[in-house]
Amino acid sequence: MRKAIKKYFEYLWKQAKKERKSEILRLVNKKKQKNLKLLDLGCDNGDYSLKLGKRLRTNAIYGIEINQKAANEARKKGIEVKTSDLNKKFPFRKESFDIIVADQVIEHLHDLDNFVSEIKRTLKPDGIAVVSTENLASWHNVFALLVGHQPFTGPTPSQKHVVGLHPLTPSITSMKRKYEHTYLMPPHTKVLSLKAMKDLFKSYNFRIDAVSTHGYLPLPPCLSSFFEKVDPYHAFFITIRIHKDNKNKSLLKIVIDKDKKL
């Protein structure tokens, strides 16, 4: 019985992950210009970065990756990768990119103010960013709290020991084996709800023009696709597409121009 439950939840996770990846490809495809520059934050070995580039019909693919081994693999695939920590200033110039993607990265960082402000700094004025993470308010996390456990998604109290209930990865060894690409990252340190993520980016004057959710635990995909739309705030994965909000700058420019005429 226990193995069957474990397999069922692994299936739900894999299905939601597959849908999330497909949705990100759809969201970035809003940009129709040619010669687009793409930045993949936490690009890993570059496989998904190449899929993003293919969807955008661009070869100008850049990445930031903390894992040197993964970064080298991505470089072999033609991606311009900088080995760096996303808690620090991005190693790129101001307004360099048309599209920035951060999939399952933000939850591993401790300085979200730096992360969001660096996305804003390196994104072109008409650029877009797509950010995806696990949802703190997902029903499985709510259930864990109700029975007195740490939320499954985190925040994770220890990097050396499994603290809390983690049936899919009951030991550090199994966790590292399953998530080898995140070995050099901190565990989930900042876990956001959908409302918190929206508020965070709005506070840096980003405009949110699309919200997408995937997985609605413990329901199977045939039912979760309905409930994700009815109740996105308790879905498993949450994804937003954002733009720089240049309205205030435009209004300021109008005021300055009027003052000059006077």
8 A C-beta contact, residue 72 and residue 94: no
Q: Which domains does the chain have, with CATH numbers?
A: 2-261 (3.40.50.150)
**Structure-token pair, residue 141:** 């996390």
Query: Once rounded to an integer, what is the mean pLDDT over residues 22-41?
Result: 90
Question: In whole angstroms, how far apart are CA 253 and each of 127, 131, 169, 241, 250?
Answer: 20, 30, 54, 26, 5
Given 3-state DSSP classes, what are the helix, strand and coil percentages for the chain, each rounded to the nearest 5? 45, 20, 35
Grouping H, G, I as helix, E, B as strand and the rest as coil, residue 212 is: strand
Question: Which candidate, 60, 61, 56, places its Cα nearest to that of 32?
Answer: 56
Question: Which candidate, 93, 75, 76, 77, places its Cα nearest to that of 37?
Answer: 93
Question: Which candidate, 140, 197, 204, places its Cα nearest to that of 9?
Answer: 140
Q: Where residue 252 falls among pLDDT bands split at 50, 70, 90?
A: very low
110 CB-near residues (< 8 Å, 6+ apart): 87, 186, 189, 190
Q: Can you tell me the distance from the alpha carbon of 213 to that of 204, in angstroms, rounded to the nearest whole number?
A: 22
Amino acid at 102: A
Amino acid at 227: F
Q: Can you tell me the distance from the alpha carbon of 9 to that of 44, in angstroms, rounded to the nearest whole number?
A: 25
Q: Where residue 254 falls among pLDDT bands split at 50, 70, 90?
A: very low
User: Mean pLDDT over all residues of the chain?
Assistant: 88
Task: Name the burial class of residue 257, with classes exposed (0-12), middle (13-18) and buried (19+) by CB atoms within 10 angstroms of its CB.
Answer: exposed
Which tens digit of pLDDT belongs to each residue from 194-212? 999 999 999 999 999 999 9
Q: Can you tell me the distance from the alpha carbon of 13 to that of 73, in angstroms, rounded to the nearest whole number?
A: 26
Q: Can you tell me the distance from the alpha carbon of 19 to that of 9, in angstroms, rounded to the nearest whole number?
A: 15
8 A C-beta contact, residue 207 and residue 244: yes
Strands lying side by side in the sheet with 38-41: 80-83, 61-65, 38-41, 97-103, 123-134, 237-244, 206-214
Task: Name the burial class of residue 241, with classes exposed (0-12), middle (13-18) and buried (19+) by CB atoms within 10 angstroms of its CB.
Answer: buried
Question: Which candidate, 18, 217, 37, places its Cα nearest to that of 137?
Answer: 217
Selected residue with higher pLDDT from 4 and 186? 4
**What is the CA angle 27-30-34, rounded to 5?**
130
Percentage above 90 pLDDT, the chain: 71
Query: Residue 102 has what pLDDT?
Result: 98
Which tens digit of pLDDT belongs to each residue from 75-132? 999 999 999 999 999 999 999 999 999 999 999 999 999 999 999 999 999 999 999 9
